[in-house]
Structure 1
Amino acid sequence: MLTRLLSATALALVVGGPVAAFDMSAMSAEERDALRSEIRAYLLDNPEVLMEAIQVLESRQADQQAADDIALLQVNADALLNDPTSWVGGNPDGDVTIVEFLDYRCGYCKRAHPEVAELIASDGNIRLIVKEFPILGEESVQASRFALAVREVGGDEAYKAVNDGLMTMRGQISERSLRAMASDQGLDADAVMAAMSSEAVQRIIAQNRALGQRLSISGTPSFVFGDQMVRGYVPLDAMREIIAEERG
């Protein structure tokens, strides 16, 4: 009986199912102690069983996360795809939409920025939506408010220019540096600074944060590719593979 129970237990470790053929409560204390010793010895002799069990568990968790993400994206599709307060680039009629949650102080966002730009330029059939998602401190909030204020004052082209500028910026984000950037774009810096504190700008950031919370987004960059969510940096080749999957 002990050998059969041990085999069933090892199988359960791999497939993740219960050992239904045996009633553990019916075993004596001596039998339970012997079982524990045998299981320990078996696992020490066959550690690959644990690795197989872990792989099965991780695969099931990944599948469940993907299913949960699809449900979340469906529920929040309108806020993700049809929000007029979010800047839209690339091909507005593209067959695949990418939504990017970004923070201008995020090193991985800066790393992803030229790769996203290359993907959009080389593909030609991708719609890009940017969600301002400042989570790395006051400078991040200041930068996002500035970008949104620039869009309010100067329109989409000016927003794109400062979005690029903030992503490549290496110095401190301050009122002085932001005023200089606004002036470089031919904008009224005073008007932009005033718009940074507007209710509209603050509401957009609050809405994006609430959306991120609903989608379980806690870091940047985070991406939505069609019906797939990727939390974290994605290299260009991987982005292209995901886009091909979406089209497939």
Structure 2
Amino acid sequence: MLNRPFFGQFAVSTALVLTLALPATAQALKEYSDAERAQFRAEVRAYLLDNPEVIREAIEVLQNREAETALQADVTLVTDNAADIFDDGYSFVGGNPDGDIVLVEFMDYRCPYCKRAHNEVTKLLATDGNIKLIVKELPILGEQSVLASRFAVATKQLAGGDSYKAMNDALMAFNGDVTLPALRRLATTFELDADAIEAHMNSDEVSAEITATRALASKLAISGTPTFVLQDEMLRGYLPYDQMQALIAEKRN
């Protein structure tokens, strides 16, 4: 007996086989008698049972087509929103600002995969001096994420990129609960004005930046972090260093 997941694949695959091999099948079946339609379906079923590898081939064709469609849709999204992605005027720019490769990261300080990705990106920038990194704050994992992001953005707006980079690195390495006292201690560690940052973190300027990034993420259909934009391609989810390095090499070629 076919189990439920396999039966679903069977139905999809059968439909795909008919669509690929017999584009006029649906119309032709309407012209058959009930007996002819039953015979046709029985023959298709018998063929698939005798050649089950066709089901796997059909599934692979379907998956490849869906992947290609999704890839092309992402390319269109990046093209349509290029100005907001690559030149919004407020996101932190690191690495080599004149690099031939642009990597944009949407991140959340409470996301464990963002923390892993942060280490991979840091390694990429250290080993490849020709990558421009753009960091976009996308706090989506609760109040602590928002608190951390507001503090980091306020640091950037008041103290500049270098201080933001130090705060960003520290927050990515931070594993405890994100609280205002903990954030103030980090600011003090970097000899920043914790009082000024705290006073600014709920300002309209900070809110506007986070709101704009969330709106952009919505346009790009980003539902999780980390999400990267590498040149014209979106990379949804964590990728290890070797895979990112290979993708960058492909872009250069």
Query: 1:14 deviation in Å?
Result: 7.7
* Among 10, 20, 23, the residue aligned to 1:19: 23
Identity within the alignment, %: 50
- Cα 1:15–1:127 change in 2 (3 A) is farther
Change (3 A) 1:28 1:210: same
Q: Match for residue 5 of structure 1?
A: none
Supply the distance in 2 between the matched residues of 1:217 and 1:11 (Cα, whole angstroms).
31
After superposition, the Cα gap between the structure-2 partners of 1:244 and 1:171, relative to the gap in structure 1 and judged at 3 Å, is: same
8 A contact 1:16–1:53 mirrored in 2? no
Alignment of 1:194-213 (within 5 A): 194-213=199-218
> SS of the counterpart of 2:136?
strand
Equivalent pair of 1:15/1:53 in contact (CA under 8 Å): no
1:75 maps to what in 2? 80
Contact kept? 1:108, 1:220, Cα under 8 Å = yes
Structure 2 counterpart of 1:172, from 154, 171, 177? 177
Q: Relative to 1, partners in 2 of residues 1:234 and 1:15: Cα closer, same or farther, differing over 3 Å?
A: farther
Distance in 1 between residues matched to 2:18 and 2:59, nearest whole Å: 8
Q: Which amino acid aligns with 2:135?
A: V
- Out of 96, 103, 110, the residue aligned to residue 98 of structure 1 is 103
CA–CA distance in 1 between the matches of 2:188 and 2:171? Answer: 14
Q: Runs ≥4 in structure 1, deviation > 4 angstroms?
A: 9-12
Structure 2 alignment gaps of length 5 or more: 1-12
Give the conservation status (yes or no) of the 8 Å contact 2:104–2:228.
Answer: yes
| 8 Å CA contact 1:73, 1:215 repeated in 2 | yes
Aligned pairs for 1:67-216 within 5 A: 67-216=72-221
Alpha-carbon distance between aligned partners in 2 of 1:87 and 1:117, rounded to the nearest angstrom: 14
Q: TM-score, normalised by structure 1?
A: 0.92
SS at match of 1:230: strand
Q: What is the CA–CA distance in structure 1 between the aligned matches of 2:249 and 2:166, rounded to whole Å? A: 29
1:134·1:141 contact (CA, 8 Å) conserved in 2?
Answer: yes
Counterpart of 1:4? none
Q: Name the TM-score, length of structure 2 as normaliser.
A: 0.90
Deviations 1:137-190 (A, max 9, x none): 111111110110111222111100110111111100001111111111101111
Residue 34 in structure 1 maps to residue 75 in structure 2: no
| Residues 16 and 62, structure 2, Cα contact 8 Å, conserved in 1 | no
- State the secondary structure of the residue aligned to 2:149: helix
Find out whether 1:62 has 2:81 as its counterpart: no
Bigger Cα displacement from structure 2, 26-35 vs 167-176? 26-35
**1:3-48 deviation digits (Å, cap 9, x = unpaired):** xxxxxx9796187365326710121112222222222222222221
> Does the residue aligned with 1:124 lie in a helix, a strand or coil?
coil
CA contact (8 A) 1:222 1:232 kept: yes
Q: What is the rounded CA distance, in whole Å, between the counterparts of 2:142 and 2:101 in structure 1?
A: 32
Matches of 1:74 and 1:129, distance apart in 2: 17
**What secondary structure sits across from 2:93 in the alignment?**
strand
For 1:219 and 1:120, locate their aligned partners in 2 and report how far apart those are by CA, in whole Å: 23
* Secondary structure of 1:52's aligned partner: helix
